Amino acid sequence: MFAVLPHPLANLGQLASSGVLITIAAAAGIWLAPRAGLGTSIIDAALSGQPFAGRLRAIAGLAIGLGILAALAVVALDVAVFAPLLPRATPAAPAPPLWTGALAALYGGLTEEILLRYCVMSLFAWLLTKIVRGPAAYWGAIAGAALLFGVGHLPAAATVLPLTPLVVTRAIVLNGLAGVAFGWLYWRRGLEAAMVSHGSADLILHVAVRGIGA
């Protein structure tokens, strides 16, 4: 049976406590992204009063589709590789209601993409493009941000299972896999595509998978 990934909103209070950090990350992204050749074309168009619905439609299919594929890949990899080796999780409290999974998808799609892609990946790309030419700089930035994305899920993993080497590897690999997909979208289609894709993946993982009793 698929061992559901730790819920990123195990503590709803973190929404408020992370506000300052998100604001700083957004400000950093505003400065870094254009200097790294990255951007937010849909948000920029909306803020400047230009039509943006067409741009949103253009990225929606790819973003949602890649998010669904990333979620299915995470589930498949977990079922095939990690779940059989893990002890049965014994949550300290009953599973939260499904509506919190939808809230988690919104949280992941917006705040985590601002932190990990708009800020961190933009920083890595800005630095790497100064020393590496071509796509290698962006792939390095994607990988670096994806690694930190996985590491950032370790506190949530620790609420479900002890942080053994296997549990740490699982959290980093599964979340990092999705992080690579979101990073590629940020690079090729903009931050909004990464946000939509991340939210779509989280809806699968935290609502659909739990809803069918996986």
b/e sequence 3-36, b meaning 16+ C-beta within 10 Å:
bbbbbbbbeeeeeeeeeeebeebeebbeebbeeb
Residues 203 and 101 sit within 8 Å (Cβ to Cβ): yes
Q: For 84, what's the count of Cα atoms within 13 Å in the CB-facing half-sphere?
A: 5
Nearest alpha carbon to residue 115 among 137, 146, 143:
146
Distance CA 128, CA 88 (A): 42
Decide if pLDDT at 13 tops 70: no
Averaged pLDDT score across all residues of the chain: 87
Decide if pLDDT at 145 tops 60: yes
Lowest mean pLDDT among 22-26, 70-74, 210-214: 210-214
In the prediction, which pLDDT does 47 show? 83
Q: pLDDT tens, 155-197?
A: 989 988 899 999 999 999 999 999 999 999 999 999 999 999 9
Residues 25 and 119 sit within 8 Å (Cβ to Cβ): yes
DSSP category for residue 86: S
Count of other CB atoms within 10 angstroms of residue 161: 19
Give the SS3 label for residue 3. coil
Decide if pLDDT at 34 tops 80: yes
Per-residue pLDDT band for 17 (boundaries 50, 70, 90) equals low
Residues 198 and 131 sit within 8 Å (Cβ to Cβ): no
Residues 203 and 102 sit within 8 Å (Cβ to Cβ): yes
Query: Would you kindly state where each structural domain of the chain is located, as residue ranges?
Result: 14-43+53-87+95-211
Count of other CB atoms within 10 angstroms of residue 213: 7
Per-residue pLDDT band for 89 (boundaries 50, 70, 90) equals low
Whole-number percent of the chain with pLDDT over 70: 85
